[in-house]
């Protein structure tokens, strides 16, 4: 079904990034430190690889985000991008803890 975006090379890189930055960078900007102990952390692309695939392994395009911030960003991307190619079929990283309260947040 889904395209094979998260391959072996990516997983290795993402492990390395989370080792170097073991907290959510968005939470840090809000003055909170969220580590993998608190919430699952994902390595996210600042510029989506659907937009520029060449940036997939570019560490300057990577940001560590907790699943909450990852969700917020993806929801924004999907609502800003009506192109169905950019929609993700299933957001596998969403946990049951996630709820849709984030939608009340004003868009940037």
Which residues make up the interface to Zn ion (CB under 5 A)?
A: 24, 26-27, 34, 66, 69
Do residues 57 and 48 make contact, with C-beta atoms less than 8 angstroms apart?
no
Do residues 100 and 72 make contact, with C-beta atoms less than 8 angstroms apart?
no
Provide, rounded to whole angstroms, the least separation between the CB of residue 35 and Zn ion. Answer: 10
52 vs 103 by CB, closer to Zn ion = 103
26 vs 44 by CB, closer to Zn ion = 26
b/e string for 33-70 if b means 16 or more Cβ within 10 A?
ebeeeebebbbbbeebebeeeebbeeeebbbbbbbbbb
Provide, rounded to whole angstroms, the least separation between the CB of residue 27 and Zn ion. Answer: 3
4 vs 100 by CB, closer to Zn ion = 100
Provide, rounded to whole angstroms, the least separation between the CB of residue 86 and Zn ion. Answer: 23
């Amino acid at each position: 079904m889904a395209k094979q975006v998260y391959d072996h090379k990516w997983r290795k890189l993402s492990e390395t990034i989370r080792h170097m930055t073991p907290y959510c960078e968005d939470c840090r900007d809000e003055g909170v430190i969220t580590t993998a102990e608190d919430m699952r952390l994902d390595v996210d692309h600042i510029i989506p690889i659907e937009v520029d695939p060449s940036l997939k392994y570019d560490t300057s395009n990577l940001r560590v985000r907790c699943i909450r911030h990852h969700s917020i960003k993806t929801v924004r991307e999907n609502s800003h991008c009506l192109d169905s190619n950019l929609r993700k079929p299933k957001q596998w990283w969403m946990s049951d803890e996630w709820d849709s309260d984030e939608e009340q947040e004003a868009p940037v």
